[in-house]
Amino acid sequence: MREGKFIDQNIDRWKDYLVDSKDPDEQADRFVHLVDDLSYAKTFYPTSKTTQFLNGLAARQFQKLYQHRNLQFGRLIQFWRYELPLLYGRYHRIYLFVLAFFTLCVLMGVLSSMHDQTFVRSILGDGYVDMTEDNIQKGDPFGVYKNSNEFGMFVNIAANNIRVAMMTFSLGLLAGIGTLYMLFTNGVMLGSFQYMFFAKGLGWQSILVIWIHGTLEISAIVIAGTAGMILGASFLFPGTYSRLESLRRGSRDAVKIIFGLIPFFLLAAFFEGFVTRHTEMPVWLSLMILIGSAATIIWYFIIYPVLLRRSGIRFEKGKIIFPQGE
C-alpha cells in the first residue's frame, strides 16, 4: 500500500487519538491499534515522517495508559489504608451490637447442646456427627480437613464463605431481620459445633486446629453481618434524608465493607485448605497463626480506625482529608 493511501485510511482515527480519553478500556484499545499501525509503518516506510508521528503518538498513548493504571493502583492503596478503616470506624456501634448478638447466639448453641444431647445432631446433622465420632474413634478427630485435595478445598471453602457473607449482607434489606437470622443460625451452629469437641475432651485441641482458619472466617462473618445491619439501619432510620437516599448511602458503604472482606475470606480458605489439615503441627505454630489472625482483625477493624479518627484524618466526598492540609 502506498504511504499516501495508508495515511488517508487512518488519519481521522489518529486525529481522534490526539484528544485524550478518560476511559481505560478505550485507552488500551487505542494503544493496541497504534502499535499495529506503527509496526506496519516501520515495515514499509521505516524512514518516513509518518512512522515518526506514529511512534510519538503511541508513546504518548502508552504514557496515558500507564499513568491511569498508576492512579488506579494508588486509589486501591488509598482504599485499604484510609477509606475502609475510616468507613468501618463510623459504624463501630453497629459492629458492637452485631458482635454481642452473635456471641449470645453462640452461647445459646452451647447451652442448648449441654441440656439436650440430641441438639447437636439436629443442628449439624447425623451424617456429620457420625463421621466426626468415627474419626475420634480412629484417633484423628479432625480428619474431615484431610479428605479433599488442598486446592479444591480452598476454592470450595472460599466460594461458600463468600456466598454466606453475601447472604448475610444482602438480607439486611429486610430491615435487618434477615441478617439477624443468618447470624443466629451461624452462631447456634458454631456453639453446637464447638461444644461437641469440648464434650469429648477435645476442646483445647479443637481450638488449636479449627480456629487456625476459624478466627478469620468467623470474624469476617460478623463484619458481613455489620454490613447487613448498616443496610437495615439506613432503611429504618433515614434521619434527615429520604428513605431511598438513606438506603442508597447505606448500600454504598456496606458494599465497600463487603469488598474489603474478600481477602480475609480468601486467607481463611487458604488456611483451611492448606494448613488446618496438618493437625499435628507444633502448638506454638498454631497459636502464632491464631493470635496473628485475631490481632490483624482487631487492629485493622477496631484500633486503627480509632487512631485515624483521633489523628484528624477523615474521608469525605471521595477524598482523604488530612489535618492542617498535610
Torsion angle defined by CA atoms of residues 259, 260, 263 and 267, in that order, rounded to the nearest 10 degrees: -120
pLDDT tens, position by position, 106-132: 999 999 999 998 999 999 999 989 998
Domain map of the chain by residue range? 3-77, 91-324
At residue 310, does pLDDT exceed 70?
yes
- The predicted model scores a pTM of 0.75
Between CA 301 and CA 298 the distance in angstroms is 6
- Mean pLDDT on 30-51: 76
Q: 189 Cβ partners below 8 Å, 6+ apart? A: 109, 123, 124
Between CA 323 and CA 326 the distance in angstroms is 6
pLDDT at residue 325, rounded to an integer: 46
pLDDT at residue 149, rounded to an integer: 78
pLDDT tens, position by position, 56-76: 887 777 666 555 554 456 667
- Mean pLDDT on 159-172: 90
What are the grid coordinates assigned to 5, written together?
493511501
